[in-house]
């Protein structure tokens, strides 16, 4: 299930974030890559846990907490602190699958990576290449979204970032452990929640909407593992 989440950040937030990111110090992106990823990862990123990474990460997390589509699609139990990367001059990230488990920085807690997320921070007209390609049973899906939009996809999928041949691609990335581990169950819950919201917008029969809402919460109660 690949879900596009629009308008996570406002134009003002993006402008402020980009100004700080362009002035930031960057390190080799392989600093946080596993054995598999280190061989094909060629980009730069903010040092994990740096003051700027924490500041911008808190801004992103606060925006996600207020975004109903993100909450509905991810059903987050735990979110890895957002990180920030930069691609330019032919930099790319080859085929890889994200690590299944990550240790949360500064703690002994582990997070199961059910979902991967990429938040685009640069306008797509400002760089060439840099598409996120996500493979599934239907082939490769190319994703290059407007600044401030996010894509949510299974962390188990094979994916890559194409070389950036002009300009600079700035992004934010992180992982989510969902309360509902099974992707088919999450997809069904998202479809049901979306349908209930659309029924509410059309003023459909309240008793029917209430019954469907009950079905949603009973399924969530059955499948959730907080």
Give the helix/strand (H/E) hosting 4: strand 3-5
Query: Tokens 């002009």 sit at which residue?
Result: 166
Question: What's the pLDDT at 57?
Answer: 98
> Average of pLDDT values for 49-70?
97
Instruction: Give the mean model confidence (pLDDT) for residues 199-203.
Output: 86
At 27-54, the pLDDT tens digits run 998 888 767 777 899 999 999 989 999 9
Domain boundaries, the chain: 3-178, 183-223
What pLDDT was estimated at residue 106? Answer: 87
pTM, 2 dp: 0.94
**So what's the pLDDT on residue 51?**
96
| DSSP H or E run through 161 | strand 159-161
pLDDT digit string, tens, across residues 92-135: 999 999 999 999 998 999 999 999 999 999 999 999 999 999 99
Q: Distance between terminal CA atoms of the chain?
A: 21
* Topology of the domain covering 3-178: Jelly Rolls (2.60.120)
DSSP for 114-159?
Answer: -EEEEEE-S-GGGEEE--EEEEETTEEEEE-PPTT-EEEEETTS-E
User: If DSSP states are collapsed to H, E and C, what string results for 29-50?
Assistant: HHHHCCHHHHCCEECEECCCCC
Average pLDDT, the chain: 95
Residues 167-193 have a mean pLDDT of: 97
Pick the CATH number of 183-223 from 3.40.50.300, 3.30.70.980, 3.90.226.10, 4.10.860.20: 4.10.860.20
HSE at residue 106, side-chain half, CA atoms within 13 A, is 6
Decide if 3-178 and 183-223 have a common fold: no
- Half-sphere exposure of 39 toward its Cβ, with a 13 Å CA cutoff? 5
DSSP state of 180: S
d(CA 191, CA 169): 32
Residue 84 token pair: 């920030």
Question: Shortest CA distance to 139 belongs to which of 120, 123, 158, 125?
Answer: 158
Cα separations in angstroms, 207 against 204, 214, 225:
9, 11, 29
């Amino acid at each position: 299930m690949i879900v596009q989440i629009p308008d996570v950040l406002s134009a003002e937030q993006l402008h402020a974030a980009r100004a700080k990111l362009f002035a930031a110090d960057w390190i080799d992106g392989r600093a946080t890559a596993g054995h598999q990823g280190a061989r094909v990862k060629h980009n730069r990123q903010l040092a994990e846990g740096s003051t700027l990474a924490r500041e911008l990460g808190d801004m992103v997390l606060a925006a996600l907490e207020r975004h109903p589509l993100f909450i509905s699609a991810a059903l987050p139990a735990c979110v890895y602190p957002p990180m920030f990367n930069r691609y330019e001059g032919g930099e790319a990230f080859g085929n890889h699958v994200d690590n299944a488990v990550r240790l949360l920085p500064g703690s002994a807690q582990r997070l199961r990576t059910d979902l991967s997320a990429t938040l685009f921070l640069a306008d797509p007209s400002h760089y060439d290449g840099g598409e996120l390609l996500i493979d599934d049973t239907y082939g490769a899906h190319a994703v290059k979204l407007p600044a401030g939009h996010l894509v949510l996809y299974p962390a188990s999928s094979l994916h890559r970032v194409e070389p950036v041949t002009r300009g600079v691609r700035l992004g934010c990335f992180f992982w989510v452990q969902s309360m509902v581990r099974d992707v088919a169950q999450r997809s069904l819950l998202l479809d049901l929640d979306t349908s209930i919201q659309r029924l509410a917008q059309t003023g459909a029969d309240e008793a029917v909407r209430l019954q469907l809402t009950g079905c949603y919460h009973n399924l969530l109660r059955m499948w959730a593992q907080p």
